[in-house]
Amino acid sequence: MKAIRVHEFGGPEVMRLEDVADPHAGPGQVVVRVHAIGVNPVDTYVRAGTYPTRPPVPYTPGRDAAGVIEAVGEGVKRVAAGDRVYVAGTLSGAYAERALCEESQVQPLAARVSFTQGAGVFVPYATAYRALFQRARAVPGETVLVHGASGGVGVAAVQIARAAGFTVVGTGGTERGRKLASDEGAHHVLDHHAPEYLDQLMSLTGGRGVDVILEMLANVNLGRDLNVLARGGRVVIIGSRGTVEIDPRAAMGRDASILGMTIMNGLPQELQSIHAALVAGLENGTLRPVVGREMSLADAPRAHIAVMEPGAHGKIVLLP
């Protein structure tokens, strides 16, 4: 089968499309015929060798995909050959025509959700869900700022928060990105490049501030985030690409909490609960992954450049 292989860490060009042996399902494993692959920023950090954990090389990148179960190993009970699934991590890498997974790494994909949409489920939606409910412990009725609402995690967060009964404010850096956030359920949208946008946010909340911030770029925003939190507010750091200076007094005065998170820290029972919620949301149509761009698997290097550029619009998906 064809797969993207990385033999040394480096720029996007280290990803090459190669022929590799087809995977075989051992006990408790399944082989997924991959129809679409989700590109996440983390795939670029791992490829560059800057992520805290490095896979042994050569490796095939990618955690997110959707497709059809092609073969199941001994003892597999939850899924059968022919089932449509979304993939939440793999043993062999997602940027390929087939992926070897543990049975627990595949989840049913509702018929109403396309494979390209299914490729944009796991990392974005599980992250948004975990940030909102398991880290911030947000409760319906609260106000949530999705700081970076135009990309994969942001769109997911907007849909989840809107469906669950929050007041949702989303930010985007382009008109197109703000329209997307608005179309997907944000009650208000703001431009995170505009000089006055946090003043506008305070006005929108009647001077009270927001209860929860889901932060996609903490190295730029964390210091100012603390000034727009309501008393008891929580900011969840989802993304950060550098360091930042903060005034701890801004947190003290509000009884505010700064919470880190990575989806990879999710405990098995937490992930089980997240998937139960996502599968239900995909089935009932409240969760609708948005695919902004489709590219061929061979175009993985260009996709890695694109996912790091400004002007996000949902997900970038690769087609094998």
Contacts with ligand NAP, residue ranges (CB under 6 A): 40-42, 123-124, 127, 147-154, 171-174, 177, 192, 216-217, 220-221, 238-239, 261-263, 307, 310-312
User: In whole angstroms, how close is the CB of 38 to ligand NAP at the nearest point?
Assistant: 9
Burial category of 203 from C-beta neighbours within 10 Å (exposed 0-12, middle 13-18, buried 19 and up)? exposed
User: In one letter, which amino acid is 12?
Assistant: P
User: In whole angstroms, how close is the CB of 116 to ligand NAP at the nearest point?
Assistant: 15
Q: What is the CA radius of gyration of the chain?
A: 20
Q: Which residue has the tokens 């292989």?
A: 5
User: In whole angstroms, how close is the CB of 145 to ligand NAP at the nearest point?
Assistant: 10
CA distances to 44, 92, 230 from 20, rounded to whole Å, are 22, 11, 54
User: In whole angstroms, how close is the CB of 22 to ligand NAP at the nearest point?
Assistant: 30
User: In whole angstroms, how close is the CB of 303 to ligand NAP at the nearest point?
Assistant: 11
User: In whole angstroms, how close is the CB of 159 to ligand NAP at the nearest point?
Assistant: 13
6 versus 198: smaller Cβ distance to ligand NAP: 198
33 versus 240: smaller Cβ distance to ligand NAP: 240
123 versus 318: smaller Cβ distance to ligand NAP: 123
Torsion over CA: 228, 232, 238, 242 (sign): positive
User: In whole angstroms, how close is the CB of 152 to ligand NAP at the nearest point?
Assistant: 3
Please check whether residue 219 is in contact with residue 242, taking contact to mean a CB–CB distance below 8 angstroms: yes
- Partnered with residue 214 across adjacent β-strands are 146, 236
Distance CA 84, CA 318 (A): 18
31 versus 156: smaller Cβ distance to ligand NAP: 156
Q: How many Cβ atoms are within 10 Å of 96's Cβ, its own excluded?
A: 29
208 versus 293: smaller Cβ distance to ligand NAP: 293
Please check whether residue 292 is in contact with residue 313, taking contact to mean a CB–CB distance below 8 angstroms: yes
User: In whole angstroms, how close is the CB of 25 to ligand NAP at the nearest point?
Assistant: 28
Q: Each residue of 177-201: b (16+ CB within 10 Å) or e?
A: bbebbbebbbbbbbbbeeeebbeeb
Starting from the edge strand earliest in sequence, which strands make up the sheet with 167-172, in order?
188-191, 167-172, 143-147, 210-215, 229-237, 257-260
CA distances to 25, 140, 142, 163, 310 from 182, rounded to whole Å, are 43, 19, 18, 14, 18
Please check whether residue 300 is in contact with residue 61, taking contact to mean a CB–CB distance below 8 angstroms: yes
147 versus 275: smaller Cβ distance to ligand NAP: 147
Nearest residue to the partner ligand NAP, using Cβ = 151
35 versus 313: smaller Cβ distance to ligand NAP: 313
23 versus 266: smaller Cβ distance to ligand NAP: 266
User: In whole angstroms, how close is the CB of 1 to ligand NAP at the nearest point?
Assistant: 27
Please check whether residue 215 is in contact with residue 236, taking contact to mean a CB–CB distance below 8 angstroms: yes
5 versus 304: smaller Cβ distance to ligand NAP: 304
